[in-house]
Structure 1
Amino acid sequence: MTHGIAIHPRVEPHADGIRALQGLATSVISDVTGRLLGTVGLLPVNRSPVAVCGNAFTVKVRAGDNLLIHKALDMLRPGDVLVVDGEGDVSRALVGEIMMRHGRAKGAVGFVIDGAVRDVDAFEEQGFPCWARGVNLRGPMKDGPGIVNAPICVGGMVVNPGDVIVGDSDGLVAIAPADALRIAGLAREKAAAEAKTIAEIESGAYSSAWVDAALKQKGV
């Protein structure tokens, strides 16, 4: 690392894992992984419903500085999700419309910014998914330091380069490639069970007897 700057090679996407997790709800994925997985405090800046499933391309920057994000944009490939640890700082926007258009032109399918963004109308108009901690019109500095393609933490969740990032209107989860197929299978089973429950509610056949049973076990 020179002057606090390190640029590591990109990690190629786990195509099978991305295909397997595509379309699954983040809440269901979190449920089948112990209900501990997922971001906190990062919300879509888009007003329309959003969804993404792609390859994590990670960046760690100093609060309010986006020099290394610009370098990361040059390295993006189709299917990448740019995931930025901006130290949770919202005093300056780390990305805006120009960087969004650059990333989209490189094939990125979404941005995750643990920091602030600006030009949010452009993200909505272009239908480009972006999750962030806040919005701020003030622009960033461009001095560094920073690291490209190393483990980071966004919204309290560790993300490694090459993880499968799944995002929707509820938030985001990151899945290690080695676990993607197994977790996708569990999530599909749970999604089917939830669909069955919803159908029972709609038909009037649903029973909530488990609630009283749980309370009885607690001595109520």
Structure 2
Amino acid sequence: MFFSTPDLCDQYDALLQVMSPVFKHFGGQTHFCGEVVTAKCFEDNSVVKSILAEPGEGKVLVVDGGGSLRCALLGDQIATRAVENQWAGIVIYGCVRDVTILKTLSIGIMGLTAHPRKSIRRGEGQKQLEISLAGVNLQSGNYLYADENGVIISPEPLSLTNS
């Protein structure tokens, strides 16, 4: 399935929210989309690990990591598990690590930047809630479309036939 976020913006502008251009691509796929699953955590990736251990069914995990630049919320082991569980993508409002390996994985991964330090797991974090990050408000059940032009959020799936 091909789509272009600029074309989707042209076609569905009134329906969409566009994330601020703060994210970098780290995964092997720079073009991905799917139904959103949300999570919120701060410097503790316990909830990220538990969600990505579940079947993804082509969904996209969007994590509000509070924009922390002090540790990574995603590394190669959890990302590899996400690929095995058929997640389409992961967007982290925070850091990732193991970027040399992440770019070889068949999944979309976006984050603010890379950081070598892992988070400390304390079993904290929330999932399936409304979050606000990068200039948008979103919740589980929304749809995310990402490519090299940016990231857009829709409250419903978009028809990609004319894009």
Q: Same-fold call, TM > 0.5?
A: yes
Percent identity over paired residues: 24
SS at match of 2:73: strand
2:99 to 106, 112, 120: 120
User: Which residue number corresponds to residue 52 of structure 1?
Assistant: 32
Q: Which of residues 42, 46, 51 is equivalent to 1:67?
A: 46
CA contact (8 A) 2:92 2:110 kept: yes
Kindly provide the CA deviation profile for residues 129-153 of structure 1, in whole angstroms up to 9, marking residues without a partner as x.
Answer: 2111111011101114321111112
Counterpart residue number, 1:88: 67
Structure 2 counterparts to residues 1-220 of structure 1, below 5 A: 22-31=1-10, 32-34=12-14, 37-40=17-20, 41-46=22-27, 50-62=30-42, 64-177=43-156, 180-181=157-158, 184=159, 188=162
Contact 2:87 2:107 survives alignment (8 Å)? no
Cα pair distance change 1:150/1:75, threshold 3 Å:
farther
**1:167 CA drift (Å):** 0.7
Distance apart, 1:102 and its partner CA: 0.8
By percentage of residues, which structure has more strand? Answer: 2
**Higher mean Cα deviation, 108-117 or 33-42?**
33-42
- 1: CA distance, partners of 2:53 / 2:109: 18
Unaligned segments of structure 1, at least 5 residues: 1-21, 192-220
Larger RCO (CA under 8 A, 6+ residues apart): 2
Aligned length: 161
Q: Residue deviations 1:141-191, cap 9 Å, x none?
A: 1114321111112322222111111111122111112xx34xx47x93xx5
Change (3 A) 1:49 1:142: closer
Question: Is the contact between residue 123 and residue 129 of structure 1 (CA under 8 Å) also seen in structure 2?
Answer: no
What is the SS of the residue equivalent to 1:33? helix
* Higher Rg: 1
Please provide the CA RMSD for this pair.
Answer: 2.2
Partner of 1:10: none
Pairwise CA distance, 1:44: 0.9
* Deviation at residue 24 of structure 1 after TM alignment: 2.0
